Structure 1
């Protein structure tokens, strides 16, 4: 598989568990995500070790700080050789521009988090964001695109509308993916892998359903078969002026 669409979230507390688990996976069938818990526990050396085993790594640290700090963090991530990294769109235009300048287009993929998939309308009220989740996601995605980022992280439930608004070249990375019958855990805005691809997602982040499976490799193969050849209805590539 030349461009695996499933990103397995390595949500483990230490390097030993993470490395042990990656030995069960084939790097041609998936990519992997290293998030805050694992990175804090194990650091850059773990990322380099996983890359050395042939995996593309999505470094999910959601950088959100003043522009110069985020730019330097992005440069450090790029030097590790990661395939993808993310920042938080709520950091604003100056921060997003600084991140883009630090990671030139065509090197590591640079995407922005819009809203966490655990957030509902009531959570938006608490932090002073107005509108429904899909409206906030769309505004933040348009900001990220305007700042030259490669894509965004968003719920699959917003993917169809984002694909219409952002065009075919904009990358949509979708967490909150749960195979049919799996536990939702704390996720609120979820969908199945197949439906996420139909909705327009490029990459699917899947954690516990795979990492806690009795046979992770077999499940991964089944999920890849489920999404293989899924037809996405072509959508018009609209410009931002359509939504001004």
Structure 2
């Protein structure tokens, strides 16, 4: 099934002015902007709110700690009103359940963010996972963690495009699937190992794709974002 799919522009910088310039450039084409650890640690969470402004915010903090700490962190972040918020599925069932409960308590029903569980980072391949003790490969681990996240009431998953099809086959259309590691044809892979083009990710079943450097490092970020949005709509 070909799905309606949106673009999230990843704004990976430590500089608030740079991030603000990128937001203005990509806002006409992107459905959301991603601000994560690099920016939040350098500029602070008020700057996250200021830079995102009225643009929907994908707050990519990949929360991972004991359940009580993750729940408290979510309540502390509630003033940001993100559209999407990430945590690590590998934190376990109790942590994810605590996160969901905290979101329900800390946000109005009509402003609760979609909680997204990160399965396996797109910088990891089967060899890298084996080094951590996961011996049956990325696909098996993604499916394992995806099922666990659904059991915890999480809204969706962050996964490589290469796991989109097996996740859809296993979990159906219910979970929101967000896919980083997307590279338009001709782009450098960088530190990403399990990548696809935007149109390939759309066909595989993604709801959102996350694209960073191919947009922000382009000579014209606005044109780069517009080209990706056009590819998704084709």
How many residue pairs match? The answer is 226
Shift in Å, 1:26:
2.3
Contact 2:9–2:34 (CA<8 Å) still a contact in 1? yes
Contact 1:27–1:55 (CA<8 Å) still a contact in 2? no
Which one of 214, 217, 225 corresponds to residue 219 of structure 2? 214
Contact 1:4–1:28 (CA<8 Å) still a contact in 2? no
Shift in Å, 1:217:
1.2
Structure 1-normalised TM-score?
0.88
| Structure 2 Cα separation of the partners of residues 28 and 209 of structure 1 | 14
Which structure's relative contact order is higher, taking Cα pairs within 8 Å and 6+ residues apart? 2
Counterpart secondary structure, 2:181: coil
- 5+ residue gaps in structure 1? 230-244
Deviations 1:126-164, CA, capped at 9 Å, x for gaps: 111121100000000110011000011000011011011
Shift in Å, 1:48:
1.2
Contact 2:23–2:52 (CA<8 Å) still a contact in 1? no
* Inter-CA distance 215–28: structure 2 relative to 1 (3 Å threshold): closer
Please say if 1:191 is aligned against 2:192. no
Structure 2-normalised TM-score?
0.92
| Structure 1 Cα separation of the partners of residues 79 and 168 of structure 2 | 31
| Structure 2 Cα separation of the partners of residues 220 and 170 of structure 1 | 25
| Structure 1 Cα separation of the partners of residues 52 and 20 of structure 2 | 11
Larger displacement relative to structure 2 (116-125 or 101-110): 101-110
Deviations 1:179-230, CA, capped at 9 Å, x for gaps: 001000010000000000100010000000000111111121111111115x
- Give the structure 2 partner of residue 170 of structure 1: 175
State the Cα RMSD in Å: 1.5
- Larger helix percent: 2
Contact 2:29–2:229 (CA<8 Å) still a contact in 1? no
| Structure 1 Cα separation of the partners of residues 28 and 77 of structure 2 | 20
- Give the structure 1 partner of residue 76 of structure 2: 76
Which one of 102, 117, 122 corresponds to residue 112 of structure 1? 117
* Inter-CA distance 29–59: structure 2 relative to 1 (3 Å threshold): closer
Contact 1:155–1:190 (CA<8 Å) still a contact in 2? yes
Counterpart secondary structure, 1:61: strand
Contact 1:32–1:58 (CA<8 Å) still a contact in 2? yes
- Give the structure 1 partner of residue 47 of structure 2: 46
Counterpart secondary structure, 2:77: helix
Structure 1 residue ranges (4+ consecutive) displaced by more than 2 angstroms after TM superposition: 25-30, 76-79
- 5+ residue gaps in structure 2? none
